[in-house]
């Protein structure tokens, strides 16, 4: 999965989001070992300190576990993963709804747009 980083927001926040997406999508399965901070930083073309900051945030969120002698791994707690996944979905939906309201859409119009897009996805 290629790293897509923009200069419009802090890099470590973008790293947190992208690593979380990799966890949610199964790129990094439950219980799997993560590459080293240096390897991940090199792959993402960021400073290792920036990657470290992102990984600490993911650990605070409960998605990553640090083992003293063997690096980091993804949590094995499927419930924790589901909670975090739902929290991220709600954040994304809230942001989307805010933008739609700024565009002048009312709730019924927003639902209609979403329903039409879901129908298109099924084709």
Question: What is the structure's pLDDT at 57?
Answer: 95
**Extents of the domains making up the chain:** 11-76, 79-122
Q: What CATH architecture applies to the domain 11-76?
A: Orthogonal Bundle (1.10)
- Distances in Å between the Cα of 45 and the Cα atoms of 3, 68, 73, 90, 113 are 8, 26, 21, 29, 38
DSSP 8-state code for residue 62: T
Distances (CA, A) of 69 to 30, 65, 66, 73, 80: 19, 12, 9, 12, 24
Q: Determine which helix (DSSP H) or strand (DSSP E) holds 50, and give its type and residue range.
A: helix 48-60
pLDDT (tens digit, 0 to 9) for every residue of the chain, 123 residues total? 578 888 888 999 999 999 999 999 999 999 999 999 999 999 999 999 999 999 999 999 999 999 988 899 999 999 999 999 998 899 999 999 999 999 999 999 999 999 999 999 887
Q: What pTM does this model have?
A: 0.78
Q: What is the pLDDT of residue 18?
A: 93
What pLDDT, on a 0 to 100 scale, did the predictor assign at position 1?
59
Nearest-angstrom CA–CA distance, 113 and 8: 28
């Amino acid at each position: 999965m290629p790293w897509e980083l923009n200069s419009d927001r802090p890099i470590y926040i973008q790293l947190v989001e992208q690593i979380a997406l990799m966890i949610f999508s199964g790129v990094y399965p439950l219980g799997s070992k993560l590459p080293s901070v240096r390897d991940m930083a090199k792959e993402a073309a960021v400073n290792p300190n920036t990657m470290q900051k992102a990984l600490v945030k993911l650990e605070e969120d409960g998605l990553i576990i640090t083992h003293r002698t063997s690096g980091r791994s993804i949590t094995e707690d499927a419930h924790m993963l589901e909670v975090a996944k739902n929290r991220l979905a709600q954040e994304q939906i809230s942001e989307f709804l805010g933008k739609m309201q700024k565009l002048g859409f009312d709730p019924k119009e927003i639902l209609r747009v979403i329903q039409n897009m879901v129908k298109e996805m099924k084709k």
